[in-house]
C-alpha cells in the first residue's frame, strides 16, 4: 500500500520510519513548510504555559527557559518533547484534543502563555478568556503552502493508494496547487485519512469529501487504522 504523507519534510522523515516499519511504502508529498518567527515575551510572569504541538515546544524552549509555570500540553508527542527539555507536564487531555484543554484549568485563575503557530486556531484562547484567564498568545512560527509543478504533483498523487492529512494547513497546501474540482477528481478514488476531527471537518467543508479518522490523533493510530484496512 502506497501512503502519501503531507506534513512538512522534517515531520515526514520522522513519520516515514513508523510507516515503513509496518510494511507501508511512503510517498512523501510535503504540502506545507514551517518558518520560525522572531518573537519576544512580555516582561511578566505566567501561571500556565500551553503547548499544542511538538514544534511549538521545540521552538519556544530553544529560546526561553521556564520557571514555575504549570505546563499543559496536547498529545503524547508534545509531552515527550517537553520532557526532552527537562520539564514535567502538569496536565494533558486524555483524548489528545485541544478543544478539551480548557476543562483542565477549570477552578484555576491567572495568566496563560500560549506559544503557537501563526495560523493556529483561536477557540482555546477564547474559551480561556471567557473563563477569566489573562491569555497571551505568542506567534512563534508560521506555516505556508509548498508549491509544486502541477503535472509533477498530479503524477505523484496518481501513484498512491492513501493520502494522510495531519492538519487543515496540508489541505490548504493541496488547494494552493490544484483547482478544487481537480483535487476532488484525484482524491475521490483514494483512501483519505484525516488525523483528527478539525482536519476532517475542514476537508468536508472545502472539497465535500469524507475521510477515515483514527481513534486518537496520532500517526501511530493512523497506522493501526491502515493495518485494519489492509
Paired strand residues for 49: 71, 113
Please state, in angstroms and rounded to a whole number, the distance separating the CA atoms of residues 30 and 169.
Answer: 11
Residue partners of 201: CB distance under 8 A and separation at least 6: none
Kindly report, residue by residue over 172-225, the tens digit of the pLDDT: 999 999 999 999 999 999 999 999 899 999 999 999 999 999 998 899 999 999
Please state, in angstroms and rounded to a whole number, the distance separating the CA atoms of residues 202 and 157.
Answer: 20
| Residue where the block lists cell 471567557 | 130
Cell of 40: 519576544
Look at 7-11, 57-61, 91-95, 139-143 and tell me which has the smallest mean pLDDT: 91-95
pTM of this structure: 0.84
- The domains located in the chain, with CATH, are 2-33+145-229 (3.40.50.10090), 41-142 (3.40.50.10090)
| pLDDT for the residue 102 | 86
Please state, in angstroms and rounded to a whole number, the distance separating the CA atoms of residues 76 and 79.
Answer: 5
Paired strand residues for 34: 143
pLDDT band at 96; cut points 50, 70, 90 = low
Please state, in angstroms and rounded to a whole number, the distance separating the CA atoms of residues 154 and 177.
Answer: 10
Q: Write down the mean pLDDT value for the chain.
A: 94
Q: How are beta strands 134-145 and 32-36 bridged, if at all?
A: antiparallel
Percent of the chain with pLDDT over 70: 98
Give the distance from CA 63 to its chain's centroid: 21
Amino acid at each position: 500500500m502506497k501512503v502519501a504523507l503531507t506534513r512538512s519534510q522534517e515531520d515526514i522523515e520522522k513519520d516515514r520510519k513508523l510507516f515503513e516499519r509496518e510494511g507501508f511504502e511512503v510517498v512523501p508529498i510535503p504540502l506545507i513548510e514551517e518558518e520560525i518567527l522572531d518573537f519576544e515575551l512580555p516582561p511578566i510572569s505566567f501561571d500556565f504555559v500551553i503547548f499544542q504541538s511538538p514544534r511549538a515546544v521545540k521552538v519556544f524552549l530553544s529560546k526561553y527557559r521556564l520557571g514555575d509555570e504549570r505546563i499543559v500540553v496536547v498529545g503524547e508527542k508534545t509531552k515527550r518533547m517537553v520532557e526532552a527539555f527537562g520539564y514535567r507536564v502538569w496536565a494533558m487531555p486524555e483524548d489528545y484534543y485541544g478543544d478539551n484543554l480548557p476543562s483542565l484549568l477549570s477552578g484555576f485563575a491567572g495568566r496563560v502563555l500560549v506559544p503557537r503557530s501563526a495560523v493556529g486556531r483561536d477557540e482555546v484562547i477564547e474559551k480561556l478568556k471567557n473563563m477569566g484567564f489573562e491569555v497571551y498568545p505568542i506567534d512563534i512560527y508560521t506555516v505556508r503552502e509548498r508549491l509544486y509543478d502541477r503535472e509533477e504533483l498530479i503524477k505523484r498523487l496518481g501513484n498512491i493508494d492513501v493520502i494522510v492529512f495531519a492538519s487543515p494547513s496540508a489541505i490548504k497546501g493541496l488547494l494552493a496547487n490544484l483547482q478544487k474540482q481537480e483535487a476532488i477528481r484525484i482524491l475521490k478514488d483514494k483512501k483519505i485519512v484525516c488525523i483528527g476531527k478539525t482536519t476532517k471537518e475542514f476537508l468536508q467543508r472545502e472539497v465535500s469529501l469524507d475521510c477515515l479518522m483514527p481513534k486518537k490523533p496520532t500517526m501511530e493510530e493512523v497506522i493501526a487504522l491502515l493495518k485494519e484496512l489492509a
